[in-house]
């Protein structure tokens, strides 16, 4: 996918939230072997070093793997951001990062604009290819954009059929921001949805494949998490079938504004 600063990014990748370092090492190695070219981590996850080691030991060239890490909310602020980025690069043992994101806006702290200024400078120095945010509502984005010459290339938010974020996606589109979905399967809870089971059965695929295909057909980037090698392959194998317009509408209609995580306005 082409980002607003010209950077190319794979549409589908692997998220490693809540994956312990030892498991992360083997998981990322396996993911690269089966064809993944995007890995999404964060300083808060505690597994950046394992992600870096897996990529360095892989037969896949570093330049062919898109790696995202994130600035934790306790590191918001200009100087703190520069230090946190340096630590992430050290953990990964990389010379540069493909994408760096503000993990949460933590609006009551009033520091995300200072962090964004630092991140813009890091991008200008060539230490990170593209910069984005995560868990930003439209009003956070409006504030950020109004105080900077650089708009985020990506906003990574909780998004799945029960929380389809349609209004936020429209805001993103109007500002050239790519929407990237975390918890794209509602942490597995979505598998209980009867309508999805019916579509999966008629298509001869799994519910997970149906939902991930829905994300991709909507033009969303997506980072499903799994520690299963079989699921790694299954989640990647969604580009040889298409959901009909009627099936897409059915999935669109499942929205209930249901979050598995915290509302970003409340996380400070």
What residues are annotated to the active site? Answer: 45
Which residues are CB-neighbours of 73 under 8 A, at least 6 positions away?
103, 104, 106, 109, 267, 268
DSSP, collapsed to helix, strand or coil, labels residue 242 as coil
For residue 76, what are its two tokens? 């918001």
Measured CA to CA in angstroms, residue 97 lies from 10, 82, 109 at distances of 15, 13, 26
Contact 28, 225 (CB under 8 A): no
| CA–CA distance, 228 with 248 (Å, rounded to integer) | 27
Contact 141, 111 (CB under 8 A): no
Which residues are CB-neighbours of 215 under 8 A, at least 6 positions away?
159, 181, 184, 222
Helix (H) or strand (E) holding 172, with range, is: helix 166-174
Name the β-bridge partners of 221. 180
Helix (H) or strand (E) holding 114, with range, is: helix 112-124
């Amino acid at each position: 996918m082409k980002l607003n600063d010209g950077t190319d990014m794979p549409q589908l990748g692997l998220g490693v939230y809540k994956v312990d370092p030892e498991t992360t090492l083997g998981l990322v190695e396996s993911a690269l072997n089966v064809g993944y070219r995007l890995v999404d981590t964060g300083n808060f996850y505690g597994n950046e070093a394992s992600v870096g080691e897996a990529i360095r030991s892989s037969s896949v060239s570093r330049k062919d793997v898109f790696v995202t890490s994130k600035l934790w909310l306790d590191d918001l602020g200009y100087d703190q951001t520069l230090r946190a980025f340096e630590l992430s690069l050290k953990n990964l043992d990389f010379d540069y990062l493909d994408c760096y994101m503000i993990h949460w806006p933590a609006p009551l702290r009033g520091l995300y604009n200072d962090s964004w200024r630092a991140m813009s400078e890091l991008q200008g120095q060539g230490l990170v290819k593209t910069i984005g945010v995560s868990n930003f509502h439209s009003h956070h984005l409006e504030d950020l954009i109004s105080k900077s010459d650089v708009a985020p290339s990506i906003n990574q938010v909780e998004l799945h059929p029960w929380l389809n974020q349609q209004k936020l996606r429209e805001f993103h589109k109007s500002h050239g921001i790519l929407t990237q979905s975390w918890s794209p399967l509602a942490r597995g809870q979505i598998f209980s949805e009867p309508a999805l089971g019916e579509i999966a059965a008629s298509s001869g695929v799994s519910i997970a494949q149906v939902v991930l295909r829905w994300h991709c057909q909507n033009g969303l980037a997506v980072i499903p998490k799994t520690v299963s090698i079989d699921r790694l392959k299954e989640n990647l194998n969604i580009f040889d079938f298409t959901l009909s317009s009627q099936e897409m509408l059915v999935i669109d209609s499942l929205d209930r504004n249901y979050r598995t995580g915290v509302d970003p306005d409340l996380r400070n």
